[in-house]
């Protein structure tokens, strides 16, 4: 009965939580030891070395890491906007 009413809030929470965990940097840095298991934010730091930064590869990897976030937001956009708009409604 109340689940359809909470759908926008749940989708909004899902999108924000997915974004939070996707961009998490510190926890994987602490727990992961091999480069093979690094997450995307940790992998982006491998383009920086003693000789400088490879900006072309870094920007290409940044754009390709943004695509899954964009897909999640596009899929849940309708409920996300409805969830944000309904939080300010009183009564």
| 1 — pLDDT class (breaks 50, 70, 90) | low
When comparing pLDDT for 2 and 73, which is higher? 73
End-to-end Cα distance, the chain = 19
pLDDT per residue over 36-86, tens digit each? 888 888 888 877 777 778 888 888 888 888 898 899 889 988 887 877 777
Residue 91 scores a pLDDT above 80 = no
Domain ranges of the chain: 3-86
- The whole-model pTM stands at 0.71
Burial class from Cβ neighbours inside 10 Å (0-12, 13-18, 19+) for residue 38 reads: middle
| 88 — pLDDT class (breaks 50, 70, 90) | low
């Amino acid at each position: 009965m109340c689940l359809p009413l909470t759908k926008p809030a749940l989708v909004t929470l899902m999108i924000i939580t997915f974004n939070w965990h996707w961009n998490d940097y510190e926890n994987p840095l602490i727990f992961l030891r091999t480069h093979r298991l690094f997450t995307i934010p940790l992998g982006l730091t491998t383009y920086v070395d003693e000789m400088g930064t490879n900006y072309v590869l870094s920007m290409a990897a940044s754009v390709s890491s943004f695509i899954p976030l964009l897909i999640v937001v596009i899929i849940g956009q309708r409920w996300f906007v409805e969830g944000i708009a309904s939080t300010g409604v009183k009564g």
